[in-house]
A = this chain, B = another copy of it.
Amino acid sequence: MALIVQKYGGTSVGSTERIEHVADKVMDSRAKGNDVVVVVSAMSGETNRLLALAEDISDHPTPRELDVLLSTGEQVTIALLSMALEKRGCAARSYTGSQVHIRTDSTHNKARIREIEDKRIHADLAAGRVVVVAGFQGVDDNGNITTLGRGGSDTTAVALAAALKADECQIYTDVDGVYTTDPRLVPEARRLDRITYEEMQEMASLGSKVLQIRSVSFASRYNVPLRVLSSFEEGEGTLITCEDKEMEQALISGIASNRDEAKLTILGVPDTPGVAYQLLGPIADANIEVDMIIQNVAPDGATTDFTFTVHRNDYSRALEILSRTADELGAREVSGDDKIVKLSLVGVGMRSHAGIASTMFAALAKEGVNIRMISTSEIKISVVVDEKYLELGVRILHEAFDLAQPEKI
């Protein structure tokens, strides 16, 4: 008998019919002999409805009160799902984050989970009940309601699975797993049976919106097997787990693309110690996140050139700040481009295989796709290219690495 934590997002519980369907899926898992803990989000649309009420009242709603307000969304869902289970003759009990002691820090609207009391849940499971827990919410040491921020229900599910030492944490969503790349771009894209935490984190951070990156790193830290699967279709989904030494890993797991990029370049900056901080400090102070950073010594040997990328929404603000810094430092020129995208190869297999990068560059060059920036990590190679090459680039790489073929195990 296994202990399974299942998480259903807003779309999966978007109506009472959908909630009935979720109850059926929970019953299926019980029928297989599993103990089940279910984590649910607010019904889709509900969080936005509540936010609109708050915005009606105030442009800057008190963070503490916003959490009191938003946490009602999941509370409605846990009650309805428990009713649906009870109707099916399945004993169930709902808990808010506060009731089940999901302890967080006091950072309202984006709190972090510190610990979860598992006794009450284990007692319910031992009594044969399904436990239904409100995602996204917790309680601080003073009894104040907190929320974990958008997507926090995934984190709740993983944290619960870790605390309960569950055998698997299943994230039900509107896609049926993790793909080698976006199937809307490449129809041949293939669902992966399995992917490592590290690869999933790179995929998530590179724009694959299947899972919250925070929940993946949480799962990795506590070694919780995570499965992404569809609440609308049958299937095994994709299992996200730690690297299995026994098994030959695929070279490349997938190709991620990120459309919302912009790059900024500053040329001819006097090359003195601390110059990187002088350039990027003001950008960070403006709460703009910087992604890739490249520095080259300029041909003259006395100055240096910098290029970095930011989210496209932050482009004009970043350009303004950088121009001011350029004046102060006596740099030669500032330029930028917000019509770029990032393509990334991700795969733990590339660690032990040489030549991945050159294969990638050759494939792109052959089709005339010009590479503007390159950045690498142990399990990832990212290139920045012109926006117009996004779809073409992804397709070229998907084919170059033969990703439409099932993994050779």
Q: How many copies does the complex hold?
A: 2
Q: How far apart are the CA atoms of A38 and B50 in the complex, in Å? A: 21
22 examples of A-B residue contacts, CB within 8 angstroms: A16-B53, A16-B57, A19-B57, A20-B57, A57-B80, A57-B87, A58-B84, A61-B83, A62-B86, A65-B79, A65-B82, A65-B83, A65-B94, A66-B79, A68-B82, A69-B75, A69-B83, A75-B75, A96-B145, A98-B98, A98-B99, A99-B144
Please pick, from B50, B62, B96, the residue contacting A76 in the complex, using a CB distance under 8 A: B50
Find out whether the CB atom of B79 lies under 8 angstroms from the CB atom of A69. Answer: yes
Q: Shortest Cβ distance from A61 into chain B, in angstroms?
A: 5
A50 contacts across to B, CB distance below 8 A:
76
Find out whether the CB atom of A83 lies under 8 angstroms from the CB atom of B98. Answer: no
A99 contacts across to B, CB distance below 8 A:
98, 143-145
Q: Shortest Cβ distance from A42 into chain B, in angstroms?
A: 10
CB under 8 Å from chain B, chain A span 48-72: 50, 53-54, 56-58, 61-62, 64-66, 68-69, 71-72
Most buried by B among A19, A66, A143: A143
User: Quick check: is A219 within 8 A (CB to CB) of the other chain?
Assistant: no
Query: Which of chain B's residues has its CB closest to A144's CB?
Result: B99
User: Quick check: is A78 within 8 A (CB to CB) of the other chain?
Assistant: yes
Q: Shortest Cβ distance from A95 into chain B, in angstroms?
A: 9
A20 contacts across to B, CB distance below 8 A:
57
Q: Digitize A296-325: 1 where CB-to-B-CB distance is under 8 Å, 0 elsewhere.
A: 000000000000000000000000000000
Q: Shortest Cβ distance from A97 into chain B, in angstroms?
A: 12
Find out whether the CB atom of A53 lies under 8 angstroms from the CB atom of B68. Answer: no
Q: How far apart are the CA atoms of A65 and B75 in the complex, in Å? A: 10
